[in-house]
Structure 1
């Protein structure tokens, strides 16, 4: 039987892909771009402690809550249309955030940025499915997508630090405007409109997904940051209950917002789970690495941020290498190998001490980041290929929601372990602040006589690195779990056929719209 090969993407498709990478880079940067700007915001707007936390958290809070709903919207109204709306909203919100004159206004504009980001993120990944029917090209595109998203999160603090040396804090938002304007101009010219349909939009399911994601993610973050408290614990419980109700409703719907049958497929469900574990390990551990550079090695924030870019070299090498290997051997072996390499990098970090040379921690970080992103790239591509084209937006949204849940899970798990090790080692410290955190111990040491202060500082740095070592060991264990999932449950799974029919036929476009094929 003759097999029809999928058409290969040309210059137009790759130009369209380049346009899609603009919002991806900026949306991922906005997760961390405020880290250095917050002290300047505090001087100007004078937010309360609670408002300051909401300024930081509101963006990711709204982003995580709306991903599933926005993925479903894109499948129904058109993914290009949603990209354009998201870009317009993101640009307007960035301008408003830059010139906010109160803490309340900045919190509100950060929420609008989250809505715009939620519109952009699933659409960028889903449109890759429409632009690249050839699997090798799609694998390359997903590799670039994953790498740019990872690098964008790392670049946020660096860009923020550089801008704040020359401009006021609002400049960290204004850098979004040129890219969003360019996207608004080029998207109608280069991006195909993909409107698979899928029935009427289910507002009740959208509300249930919000009620599940928002309190759960925020509650876990607060528990990881501040320890147990009744309100965030209730929020987590409520989120879990709403999540169960949401999933029950999806089972009964003809056109569900989340396709549970798709989640039941190994190629998709296991890829989502492996990515969740990977994100949990890397996000949860990033807090320890940042504190280690700034508080133990006494680096200035911008210097520390620049050094954290060094492990990105491992990402830039490993991600494309993993894609090449996956074309020659079973991808489960490549994914499993990537997670094992990452586990080795984390295992190296269990040996970090206050006296360890900088190169050791950075090398180990490069090893774990390279292996992790190489495996995650293949998991993203496998999951995207498993989803039918008409569900690509929703599938991408669930995949990215898994990232948000993984980040919250990692912060809670590793933060709790690190804090437990630290507080146990510092049980005899002179103040409660010194017993709870490294920063509290360093502040206490500065107020003590020199000999006592040096002794407390040394003990606190050792206790913190002991906690870092345990967190790294836990991350290594998570990577081994992800490797086992890949090796035993994804073995032998092939990507979808190259034929257009297997891809669900032609890509739906609006009447008169060119398909951009051939």
Structure 2
């Protein structure tokens, strides 16, 4: 097997500048996804888009993004992580420029597809470059915490930024902001980043096709799930997903140089951490969707005021991400993941108690708890996962982790959306019929005080059920974490006589590489 020389270690403050670039690349993705949620009413009116058009504007991106992640992660390992990152940023920036000029729903959907391709190229590269640049465990924890903060701040700041832009400019401005960020990240990457890649491997065209078809079909099923599983198109997609993913698993475990190293799931930290993150993302995935409706329709807040209510979540995540980096070196990953996920479960329980006339105290407490729990758990879980990964598989392993989280988030939107819709209809009085019985927005549009009051109460009941489901997901994730994940002790203080001590964390990645 031919190998390509790896660059020497990145020394001095340069690696922290590289982290800034990686955070910029991540920020442009997260902000774009979240900022679009508040632009939907404006672009609907401007482009005369139907409900189906809007669904495709939102879903086309995630369909392409999730479907290509494993393939693009493998490409980054093969052809160079910096190169693929730069290409992804360029594609994303150009597609964003096209989106700002869209004059029809079809043009915007095409631009979103291109943005999904760019996002799939750059997302796996960010995390894989991070773990190859930061080889010291203490520094890696700090870098991982900073990277996770960017994810959380982008998730919360996206709607805030979107509200400001929509209030002062046209809907296309939510895509326009991507262009300078992408350009800055490209220039910085070219100047600061060393290139890194894994050993040369034979191409795996069949594995590539099976992964793309299987993942795209899976996401399609999740998106269509709220409409009913019995629909012929949904059943067909489900059958294709099952057949192709099972075939992919069999194929990848029987060829000498697989595209995706599925043997990583034999490592308890990788398997347990991945499953924990996927489970908690089921709850987090639908949170913004449900909470935004509660704030705007039930409490009557504007889009900007509603988005500002997410600030406690971002602040708490920032504080506890920073705190968790130090605690992780002292206590290891498993306690942080477990405690953080338990706090997330408590947060969902608090949010489940929100009513139609509650003030902001309960809301802010729930949001702050969710930020604190996520701030403790997510960096520790990702550190546990990526600590098991050998350098040559950094890109595709990062993509595998991203895929599981994206699938969990998409499943969360489908599950929580379906729960809210069904419980809302069931909770509406029998004498209210028509579209107002099935849609909170339509009920508010009737301007009938009795219908509006009934809809507000029905929605708060429905969202409580959804938050309880999110809490159950977080609790299940905590149980998985404590049962499966091995505790990663700091390498400077191994336990004497502990036969498993050297198999944890970063050293476990070396073991996988040796076994390969």
Residues in 2 aligned to 1:9 and 1:431: alpha-carbon distance in whole angstroms: 67
- 2:477 is matched with 482
Any residues of structure 2 matched to 1:26-175 within 5 Å, and which? 26-175=28-177
Alpha-carbon offset, residue 498 of structure 1: 6.8
Of 469, 472, 489, the residue aligned with 2:467 is 472
The 8 Å contact of residues 429 and 456 in structure 1, kept in 2 or not, is answered as: no
**Aligned equivalent of 2:389:** 387
- Give 1:228 deviation, angstroms: 6.2
2:421 corresponding residue in structure 1:
419
Relative to structure 1, the CA distance from residue 498 to residue 260 in structure 2 (aligned partners, 3 Å threshold; closer, same or farther) is closer
Instruction: Please give the alpha-carbon distance, in whole angstroms, between the structure 1 residues aligned to 2:75 and 2:10.
Output: 28
Matches within 5 A, 1:287-326: 287-326=289-328
Q: What does 1:216-255 align with in structure 2 at a 5 Å threshold?
A: 216-224=218-226, 229-255=231-257
CA contact (8 A) 1:284 1:411 kept: yes
Q: For each residue in 1:116-155, what CA deviation from the matched residue of structure 2 results, as whole angstroms up to 9, or x when unmatched?
A: 1111100000001111000111111111111111221222
Partner Cα separation in structure 2 for residue 226 and residue 146 of structure 1: 35
Are the equivalent residues in 1 in contact too, given 2:268–2:486 (CA < 8 A)? no
How many angstroms apart in 1 are the aligned matches of 2:387 and 2:406? 21
Distance (Å, rounded) in 1 between the aligned partners of 2:42 and 2:423: 33
1:496 aligns with 2:505: yes
Aligned counterpart, 2:352 = 350
Q: CA deviation at 1:72?
A: 0.3
Within-5 A mapping of 1:189-204: 189-204=191-206
Shift of the 436–487 alpha-carbon distance from structure 1 to 2, 3 Å rule, reads same
Query: How far apart in 2 are the matches of 1:36 and 1:183?
Result: 25
Deviation at 1:388, TM superposition (A): 0.5
Residue pair 1:496, 1:502 contacting (<8 A) in 2 also: no
Which deviates more from structure 2 when the two are superposed, residues 8-17 or residues 374-383?
8-17
Match of 1:278 in 2: 280
Q: Tell me, in whole angstroms, the C-alpha distance in 2 between the residues paired with 1:501 and 1:211.
A: 32
8 Å CA contact 2:387, 2:506 repeated in 1: no
Q: Residues 7 and 500 of structure 1: is their aligned pair in 2 closer, same or farther, counting only changes over 3 Å?
A: farther
Kept after mapping to 2: 8 A contact 1:346/1:475: yes
Deviations 1:213-256 (A, max 9, x none): 21221321232378864423432342232211211111112222
Are the counterparts in 1 of residues 90 and 182 from structure 2 also a CA contact under 8 Å?
Answer: yes
CA distance in 2, matches of 1:264, 1:292: 42
Aligned-partner Cα distance in 1 for 2:106–2:248:
31
In structure 2, distance between residues paired with 1:440 and 1:400: 36
**1:62-113: CA deviation from partner (whole Å, max 9, x where unpaired):** 1111111100000100101101111221121121221123322221111111
Q: How many Å apart are 1:281 and its aligned residue?
A: 0.8
Tell me by how many angstroms 1:161 deviates.
2.0
CA distance in 2, matches of 1:421, 1:42: 27
Residue equivalent to 2:449: 454
User: What SS does the corresponding residue of 2:304 show, helix, strand or coil?
Assistant: helix
- C-alpha distance in structure 2 between counterparts of 1:364 and 1:455, whole Å: 30
Q: TM-score, normalised by structure 2?
A: 0.90
Q: Which digits, 9 at most, give the CA deviation of each residue in 1:378-425, with x for residues without a partner? A: 111111111111001011001000111101221222223333322222
CA distance in 1 between partners of 2:160 and 2:342 (Å): 29
Deviates more, 1:106-115 or 1:406-415: 406-415
CA contact (8 A) 1:312 1:369 kept: yes
Whether the 8 Å contact between 1:217 and 1:404 is mirrored in structure 2 is no
Number of residue equivalences = 493
Task: Give the Cα separation in 1 of the matches to 2:454 and 2:48.
Answer: 35
Residue aligned with 1:328, SS: helix
In 1, Cα distance between the equivalents of 2:429 and 2:505?
Answer: 56
Distance 2:390 2:60 in 1: 33
1:169 deviates by 2.2
- Once the two structures are overlaid, the 10-residue window that deviates more, 259-268 or 102-111, is 102-111
Tell me if structure 2 keeps the 8 A contact 1:160–1:172: yes
Structure 1 unaligned regions, length at least 5: 1-5, 447-452, 506-518
Partners of 1:73 and 1:201 within 8 A in 2: no
| Bigger mean CA deviation after superposition, 129-138 or 461-470 | 461-470
Give the distance between the partners of 1:424 and 1:181, measured in 2 at CA: 49
Where 2:152 maps in the other structure, the secondary structure is helix
Aligned equivalents of 1:499, 1:333: Cα separation in 2: 19
SS in 2 for 1:295: helix
Match of 1:396 in 2: 398
- Deviations for 1:473-502, whole angstroms, at most 9, x for unmatched residues? 121111111111111222445543579977
Match of 1:20 among 6, 19, 22: 22
Instruction: Find the aligned partners of 1:304 and 1:293 in 2 and give their Cα distance.
Output: 6
> Given the alignment, which residue of 173, 180, 193 partners 1:178?
180
The answer to whether the 8 Å contact 1:147/1:319 transfers is yes
- Offset of 1:356 from its aligned partner? 1.4
Moved more, 67-76 or 363-372: 363-372
Distance 2:59 2:127 in 1: 24
Change in Cα spacing, 1:376 to 1:97, as seen in structure 2 (3 Å) is: same
